[in-house]
Structure 1
Amino acid sequence: MSIRPFRPEDQAAVIALWQACGLTRPWNDPVKDIERKRAEQPELLLVGEVDGRIVASAMVGYDGHRGWVNYLSVEPSLQGRGLGAALMRHIEALLLARGCPKLNLQVRQGNDAVLGFYARLGYGDDQVIGLGKRLIHDTPPDPS
């Protein structure tokens, strides 16, 4: 798998991948999420390709204190083959090169398969509670 920054023409394939992986939610407009990321550290919106086809992606950030990973996804038919681990190694190297001392991510409760994936990569429960507050309420995308 080759990993590179997102390009505008990748948008439909990336959103389809996120949907196939169950990452989208009605209250998050993926088009707006991509637009927002492209305005801040656009080089950290990544895609993974196999034979010219997007099969993985991740939205990465670094705020000077911690790195974050969102929307980590691998095409469901290719999961379990090391692509997600390769993408995470790439992300860790990018963040380490920026001087990032710690990487955080969030996993929805009950997603035991993903928790197992991250545990195998050395990630553990920090025993914190994630809090959130919506500052902008996106209108769900029109399905038509």
Structure 2
Amino acid sequence: MIYREMCLSDQDAVIALWKAAGVFREWNNPVRDIEKALEGEHSTILIGELDGIVVASIMCGEDGHRGWFYYVSTHPNHRGKGLGKAITAAAEDWLRARGIWKVNLLVRGDNAQAVSFYEGQGYMDTHSVCLQKVIEPV
């Protein structure tokens, strides 16, 4: 798999991947999320390609202290091949290169498969509560 930072020209392929992988949610505007992630130096989206086809992605960002991962996805036809683990490691490297030593991510409470995937990579439940407030409607 070839890893690289996403370009806007990859947008349709990445959104299609998110939908196929089940990480897309109707209430999140993927175009807005992509544009925001790619506009600054503190965030990006990494993609993994096989034969020129986007099969994995991860949105990562940092606030100077912690890194965050979003939209971690592997196409269902390519699961079980280590691609999710590899794209997550690439994002950890992206953070490490910026001096970030800690990463957080959110997993929906009913997604035991994702929890198991991350625990297998050394992530642990911090028993924290995530609170959210939408301050500007989409």
- TM-score for both structures, normalised by structure 2: 0.95
Cα deviation code 1:74-104 (max 9, x no counterpart) = 0011111100101111111111121112000
Match of residue 9 from structure 2: 9
- The number of equivalent residue pairs is 138
Match of residue 87 from structure 1: 87
Alignment of 1:43-58 (within 5 A): 44-58=44-58
SS at match of 2:96: helix
Match of residue 109 from structure 1: 109
**Alpha-carbon distance between aligned partners in 1 of 2:43 and 2:116, rounded to the nearest angstrom:** 28
How far off is 1:2 after superposition?
A: 0.7
Contact 2:2 2:48 in 1 (8 A): yes
Match of residue 141 from structure 1: none
How far off is 1:24 after superposition?
A: 1.6
Cα deviation code 1:54-77 (max 9, x no counterpart) = 001111001101000000100011
SS at match of 1:49: strand
Match of residue 37 from structure 1: 37
How far off is 1:39 after superposition?
A: 1.5
Q: Which structure exhibits the higher relative contact order, with contacts defined as CA atoms closer than 8 Å and separated by 6 or more residues? A: 1
2:87 is the counterpart of 1:67: no
| Distance change (3 Å), C-alpha of 1:128 and 1:43 | closer
Unaligned runs of 5+ in 1: 139-144
Contact 1:58 1:73 in 2 (8 A): yes
Match of residue 128 from structure 2: 128
SS at match of 1:44: strand
The percentage of aligned residue pairs carrying the same residue is 45
Structure 2: which amino acid aligns with 1:124?
M
How far off is 1:43 after superposition?
A: 6.4
**Alpha-carbon distance between aligned partners in 2 of 1:41 and 1:59, rounded to the nearest angstrom:** 13
**Alpha-carbon distance between aligned partners in 2 of 1:40 and 1:2, rounded to the nearest angstrom:** 23
- TM-score for both structures, normalised by structure 1: 0.91
Structure 1: which amino acid aligns with 2:32?
K
**Alpha-carbon distance between aligned partners in 1 of 2:25 and 2:40, rounded to the nearest angstrom:** 22
RMSD: 1.2
Match of residue 24 from structure 1: 24
